[in-house]
Structure 1
Amino acid sequence: MISPLDFIADLTNPALAFLPRALLVAALSSALCGLVGTHMVVRGMAFAGDAISHAVFPGLAISFVLGGSLFLGGVIGGVAVAVIIALFAQRRVVGEDSVIGVFFAASFALGLVVLSKSQAYAGSLASFLSGSITGVNTRDIVVTIIAFALIAFVLAVLHHSMVLASLDRDMARAAGVKVLVVDLVLYVAVAGAVVVAVHTVGNILVLALLITPPATARLLVHRLVPMMALSMTCGVISSVIGIYAAWSLDIPAGAAIVLVSTLLFICAWALRPLRALRKV
């Protein structure tokens, strides 16, 4: 295992230019997922997050096969499935969780079928499912920065409406908030965060970046804005330590990031009794 000082030296080594790029994209992706995921944790939408993370897969696969924009394809796929789920759930004949389960499984299966038509099926499948942080290029960095800025701006503009919709949907409607529009905007933001994070942890583990840092923050703070800030911080810390562990121990970067994030959650859970004693 290399020391932290050796890791810093590797980050400045021109021959290892992919390493700082990987670290930057991992940190930005985790921060973005922490920001978006805060709303999902507050709303209790963990299962919906899993659905959207799978829903972007066919869009990514189609874009990959056609040589188009992965980001755009993933967002379109996520939004399309989100709209379908919203429409089917309106009838209330089948529970929303059941509708989500049906369509996220179908989306993932469709992505596998599309990707199987690619000549590089095995390699591209492994990249989508497990991430390929070492393959990050300059364009990925630019897309990540733009997505982060755009999604953060939209969430900031709609912050009040999203908080109302999260706390009391009937009150939000009475206040003139278009709840369905707010929900769709959040789904789009989640889809964008998932597409950005696919490079980091892959399609399988991306839910962990959306849920674990916000869940950790919720154990420590109760107000939404501090929760967002702490969630983003936990995501960045997980990425930095995870990339370091992956580079040192030669393990998958995505898995290392998720495990570090889980360890932070366990530490926060252990600190809760101490915080309760201080209030007595």
Structure 2
Amino acid sequence: MEWSLPFQFPFMVNAMLISVMLAIPAGLLSCFLVLKGWSLMGDAISHAVLPGVVLAYVLGLPLGIGAFAAGMACAGLTGFIDENSRVKRDTVMGVVFSGMFGLGIVMYTKIESDVHLDHILFGNMLGVGPEDMWTTGVIAVVVTGLIAFFWRDLLLQSFDEQQARAQGLHVRALHFGTLAAISLTVVAALQAVGIILAIAFLVAPGAIAFLLTKRFGVMLWLSMAIAAVCSFVGVYASFFLDSAPAPTIVLLMTAAFIAAFIRASVQARRVTM
């Protein structure tokens, strides 16, 4: 039957699996990024990993190691400048991530590589191999496990950092732990959706869930479900549309956000009437 055609090709099945595995930690992190107003931080880290990827390729190291190191360097540099200058954090992030992204482009143009830049920037979901699947799966389990264990502490820190500190929580450890989880998730997204589209996975699911519910526990489950469904359906639909899977997923998330926004606006008008 025609509807089952995508499942007859191993590369399509692998693309569906890796996208759903990525959707789970990204959907969870997305909720905290939305609550903390850290959407730009996810964007900054996703762009800043490029020089780390290039450097890792030159040194013969796994690309994920370079991406993680560069992501944490970006987060640390942003925090240092933010604490030691009068410049606002969003401005600092904009300068740091654009600078590191530009550095990565320059480094890439200066080396001989068989890794096409398009695959780094936009991913190569249909070309994932067993190593990519294992990397994404391990990162998904680690990040999901950490968030499941610390989600109450992270929630308190997101809403009231001073109260979290007063209750004895290690706010700084939670801060950098969140940044490390973002960096790991970007590493997982590198092969599947690429650097540029990773930000959609880290922001859109949480934003959609935020519009649909006022309970954070429900928001977490909704965000994961939205990310997973959009990922699976996006890859499946891309087969019949003859389009790239990652942008198709992002378009579905955008459509879901628009629908959630319209629903929230209609409900708000009914309340005020």
TM, length-normalised to structure 2? 0.93
Match of 1:124 in 2: 116
Q: Residue 116 of structure 2 aligns to a residue in which SS?
A: helix
CA distances 1:14-48 after superposition (whole Å, capped 9, x unpaired): xx211101110011112221111111001111111
Aligned pairs, number:
272
Question: 2:74 is matched by which residue type in structure 1?
Answer: V
Q: Which runs of 4+ in 1 moved over 4 A?
A: 273-280
Which among 185, 188, 195 is matched to residue 196 of structure 1? 188
Question: 2:5 is matched by which residue type in structure 1?
Answer: A
- Offset of residue 198 of structure 1: 2.1
Over 3 Å counting, the alpha-carbon distance change for 1:169 and 1:92 in structure 2 is farther
Which among 88, 91, 95 is matched to residue 95 of structure 1? 88
Question: 1:10 is matched by which residue type in structure 2?
Answer: P
- Offset of residue 194 of structure 1: 1.2
Match of 1:225 in 2: 217
| CA distance in structure 2 between the aligned counterparts of 1:9 and 1:83, rounded to whole angstroms | 47
Question: C-alpha root-mean-square deviation of aligned residues, in Å?
Answer: 1.9
| CA distance in structure 2 between the aligned counterparts of 1:237 and 1:10, rounded to whole angstroms | 16
CA distances 1:127-181 after superposition (whole Å, capped 9, x unpaired): 0111101110111111111101101111122222211110111111111122222
User: Which has the higher mean CA deviation after the structures are superposed, 154-163 or 207-216?
Assistant: 154-163
Aligned pairs (5 A) from 1:99-114: 99-114=92-107
Give aligned-pair identity as a percent: 32
User: Which has the higher mean CA deviation after the structures are superposed, 56-65 or 230-239?
Assistant: 56-65
Aligned pairs (5 A) from 1:126-205: 126-205=118-197
- Offset of residue 183 of structure 1: 1.1
Match of 1:59 in 2: 52
Question: 2:28 is matched by which residue type in structure 1?
Answer: L
Question: Gapped runs of 5+ residues in structure 2?
Answer: none
- Offset of residue 209 of structure 1: 1.0
Question: 2:60 is matched by which residue type in structure 1?
Answer: G
| 1:30/1:197 contact within 8 Å kept | no
Question: 2:71 is matched by which residue type in structure 1?
Answer: G
- Offset of residue 238 of structure 1: 1.0
Q: Residue 193 of structure 2 aligns to a residue in which SS?
A: helix
Which among 234, 239, 245 is matched to residue 247 of structure 1? 239
